[in-house]
Amino acid sequence: MTLETTTRTNVKIDRMWAIEKSKPEAGLWKIQAPIPSGGPKDVRIRVTAFAICGTDLHIVDWDRWAASRVKTPLVFGHEFTGIVDSVGAEVKAVRPGDRVTGETHVYCGLCYACRRGLQHLCYNVEILGVDRQGAFADYVLLPEQNVWKLHPDIPEEIAAVHDPLGNAVHTALAGPVAGLKFAVFGCGPIGCFAVGVLKASGAAWVAAVDKNPLRLEIAERMGADLTLNVQRDPIVKTILASTDGRGVDGMLEMSGHPNSFREGFEALANGGRVSLLGIPSKPLEIDVAKEIIFRGAVVQGINGRLIFDTWYRMEALLLSGKLDVKPVLTHVMGWSDFEEAVELQRSGKAGKIVLKRDHP
Ligand SMILES: [Zn+2]
Ligand SMILES: [Zn+2]
């Protein structure tokens, strides 16, 4: 990994600490960047904590997806929380001092999708830390329409992971849940969050599937009734045996792995729901007649979070006390531990890592 650190001594007032993808190659750069200033509808947020996502690892590694999507230089990072620092002249919903986080899909409000209430599918979407300057920095800018004011009872670590938790809430609640049986394939942070959301929403039974024992342990702590290790357990057979041979009513695919698609459909009840969030690295083949048509399966792609339906539900679930996401938040570190946190995230030996500000 390439790493260039600029000195933090003699920091000028108009410069800020930031993590940047400076050049189109693998690595990350700690830089002194100009503090961003926005327009009349923008909110400047002083970031207090952030979390590292799989997307950030793609950007650090500069894989095919990152190379095709990201324009350098870019301050990246999109999972964050902070305090409103300043607001544009037309901003009404928040004031300096408010604790906030934000919807990271910046939508145009004017396109076909937006005007039909599907802002999460905006044709002109700009994703924070991917298409526009992100949150691994002292300050980040967001339009007022994307800022989410936090309830005082939501702790900072949880505020920092509203983006991935929102993915889980959107996926889990994209169909009926109460009294139904589910399998979650892929127990990274979003999969583990989803297990908790399903259980908090009245799911009768949830199986969690992964190959990583730590992740399965976290899924169990999030309420999974059964954990299955793909390297050891017969997945389809065990799920069918646990559901009177019927299969699960819902399959949440959070891994993008081809085997999960195959086994997920095979373990699905007739008329079941398949909610796909994990991104396969290449096109997949599926027997459409057998797995979808004759099974009467409802297959849905899940992108982002519903703006802002998902957010209100997420807040209500957290405040109800029924959804405790702490088992997923395995590490709290400082911003200066950024490289270490990236390696830890990559190693699979962590759930979600939250990094808190460790400089004034
Ligand atoms: Zn993320
Ligand atoms: Zn739009």
**Distance between Cα 141 and ligand 2 center (Å):** 19
- If you count them, how many residues does the chain have? 360
Q: Quick one: what percent of the chain has pLDDT higher than 90? A: 95
Tokens of 13: 């007032």
- Active-site hit among 2, 5, 55, 78: 55
Alpha carbon of 189 to ligand 1 centroid (Å):
10
From the candidates 2, 9, 58, 151, give the one annotated as an active-site residue. Answer: 58
Where does the pLDDT of residue 360 fall: very low under 50, low under 70, confident under 90, or very high at 90 and above?
A: confident
**Mean pLDDT over the full length of the chain:** 95
9-13, 40-44, 267-271, 275-279: least confident range:
9-13
Across the range 253-259, mean pLDDT stands at: 96
Residue type, 326: K
- Supply the DSSP symbol for 87: E
Residue 58 bears catalytic tag:
yes
CB 137 within 8 A of CB 75: yes
What pLDDT, on a 0 to 100 scale, did the predictor assign at position 168?
Answer: 98
Kindly give the distance from the C-alpha atom of residue 104 to the centroid of ligand 2, in angstroms, as a whole number.
14
* 106 CA to centre of ligand 2 in angstroms: 9
Q: Assess whether pLDDT exceeds 60 at residue 176.
A: yes
Cα gap 178→199, rounded to integer Å: 9
**Sign of the C-alpha dihedral computed for residues 112, 117, 121 and 125 taken in this order:** positive
**13 pLDDT band (50/70/90 cuts)?**
low
Long-range contacts at 149-155 (CB < 8 A, ≥ 24 apart): 149/93, 149/94, 149/98, 149/99, 149/100, 150/81, 150/99, 150/100, 150/101, 151/315, 151/319, 152/99, 153/319, 154/315, 154/318, 154/319
- Taking phi over 0 as left and psi of -120 to 50 as alpha, with beta for the rest, 265 belongs to alpha
**Cβ-contact 162, 99 below 8 angstroms:** no
Ligand approaching nearest to the C-alpha of 108: 2
- Residue ranges and CATH numbers for the domains of the chain are 3-161+329-356 (3.90.180.10), 166-301 (3.40.50.720)
CA dist., res. 92 & res. 16, Å (int) = 26
Whether residue 7 is predicted with pLDDT greater than 90 in this model: the reply is no
Instruction: Categorize the per-residue pLDDT at 195 as very low, low, confident or very high, splitting at 50, 70 and 90.
Output: very high
262-306 confidence digits (pLDDT tens): 999 999 999 999 999 999 989 999 999 999 999 999 999 999 999
Q: How confident is the model at residue 139 (pLDDT cuts 50, 70, 90)?
A: very high
Query: Relative to the alpha carbon of 112, which ligand is closest?
Result: 2
Q: What is the pLDDT of residues 178-189, one digit of tens each?
A: 999 999 999 999
Helix, strand or coil for residue 78?
Answer: coil
Distance 245 CA to ligand 1 centre (A): 36
The pLDDT tens digits of the residues spanning 118-130 come to 999 999 999 999 9
Q: pLDDT tens across 307-321, in order?
A: 999 999 999 999 999
User: What's the whole-model pTM score?
Assistant: 0.95
Q: What does the pLDDT average to over 72-88?
A: 98
pLDDT at residue number 166: 98
Please identify which residue in the block is written with the tokens 């939501």.
154
Pairing of strands 28-34, 42-51: unpaired
Residue carrying the six token digits 């041979």: 245
Question: What is the pLDDT at residue 20?
Answer: 97
The CA 352 to ligand 2 mean position distance, Å, reads 30
Please report the pLDDT score of residue 303 as a whole number: 97
Whether the predicted pLDDT of 10 surpasses 80: no
359 is catalytic: no
pLDDT at residue 331 is higher than 50:
yes
How far is 183 from 298, CA to CA, in rounded Å? Answer: 15
Q: How far apart, in whole angstroms, are the C-alpha atoms of residue 281 and residue 249?
A: 26
pLDDT of residue 5: 39
**CB-based contact 44:86 (threshold 8 Å):** yes
How far is ligand 1, taken at its centre, from the CA of residue 77, in Å?
8
Tell me what percent of the residues of the chain surpass a pLDDT of 70: 96
What secondary structure does DSSP assign to 296-322, as a single string?
A: T-EEEE--S--TTHHHHHHHHHHHHTS
Ligand nearest to the CA of 190: 1
Encode pLDDT of 206-233 as tens digits: 999 999 999 999 999 999 999 999 999 9
Query: What is the whole-number distance in angstroms between the Cα of residue 56 and the centre of ligand 1?
Result: 8
Ligand nearest to the CA of 165: 1
The span from the CA of 5 to the CA of 148, in Å, is: 32
Q: Averaged over 33-57, what is the pLDDT?
A: 96
Taking the C-alpha atoms of residue 350 and residue 218, their distance in angstroms, rounded to an integer, is 10
Residues 6 or more apart from 143 whose CB is under 8 A from it?
41, 42, 43, 106
Q: How far is CA 10 from its chain centroid?
A: 36
Q: Which ligand is nearest to the CA of 52?
A: 1
CA distance 101 to 161: 9
pLDDT of residue 11: 43
